[in-house]
Amino acid sequence: MVDGGDNIREADWNSVSDIIQKGGTIIGSARCEDFREREGRLRAYGSLTGASTFRTEWPDLLKELVDKKRITQEKAEECPNIQIVGLVGSIDNDFCGTDMTIGTDTALQRIIDAIDAVVSTAQSHQRALGNTVLALRLLPIQFICQVVKEKLHYDTRSTVLGHVQRGGNPSAFDRLLGCRMGAEATLALMEMTPQSNPCVISIDGNMMVRVPLLDCVARTQAVQKAMDAKTLIWQ
């Protein structure tokens, strides 16, 4: 995004054709250190944490681009305001405000497939093969291996899936979720006014809802701080 140029262009039907079956992110990662600097935002034309700043600075950024002769005044007048709607794609499902993030269901299915794949080997060797899946694990794998070895007297080994759980074709749930969120995001953008605040498209139950972006970010950061401080209380 910060590279600008042909990386940012008007979307049409072809932009969302033949992509539903693809894994990963076709538009690249949102994590970009350049976006945190003003010069990086000048080249951009979002990270969630920088979205509000980007939107607030948009008029000044346009003026600066015109002053530096990077764009014409006519070009700046074509886009006097910028509206921001976010979709959360993450296998971690760690964003407050939505029941599920795009990619979580696919990652869980990949984990289940991997576990099923090692069952036959574990049975033939008469030993348990542990499995760690980064942020998606329920318990530390070393702890599980130790308990199995001490209590059941099985030899244990761990298998790290790593980035395997992030790839592959999306599950049916994620394909539908991505389509529904994308459609709702388009409607939200069409209905926004210059006074509208940035929002995130979330799923609540089975409904697509629009929630304030900054509120979701603040809640997510608060939960992470509570977890780090071990003060999180589940209710």
What tens digit of pLDDT does each residue of 141-159 get? 777 778 888 888 877 777 7
Which residues does 20 contact at the CB level (< 8 Å), separation at least 6?
170, 175, 178, 179
Instruction: Tell me phi and psi for residue 184, to 5 degrees.
Output: -65, -35
| 28 to 2, 126, 162, 202: CA distances (angstroms) | 12, 43, 19, 21
Per-residue pLDDT, 132: 40
The residues annotated as belonging to the active site are 92
What is the model's pTM? 0.69
> CATH number of the domain at 85-103+173-235, out of 3.40.50.450, 3.40.50.620, 3.40.1130.10, 3.30.390.50?
3.40.50.450
Report angle CA 186, 190, 192 to the nearest 5 degrees. 115
Q: Judge: domain 105-166, CATH 3.40.50.10800.
A: no
pLDDT tens per residue across span 63-73 = 888 899 888 89
Is residue 37 within 8 Å of 61, Cβ to Cβ? no
What are the start and end residues of each CATH 3.40.50.460 domain in the chain?
A: 105-166
Per-residue pLDDT, 136: 43
Q: How confident is the model at residue 50 (pLDDT cuts 50, 70, 90)?
A: low
pLDDT of 160 above 80: no
The span from the CA of 20 to the CA of 171, in Å, is 10
Mean pLDDT of 34-56: 61
What are the start and end residues of each CATH 3.40.50.450 domain in the chain?
A: 85-103+173-235
| 217 to 4, 51, 86, 199, 201: CA distances (angstroms) | 26, 11, 11, 11, 13
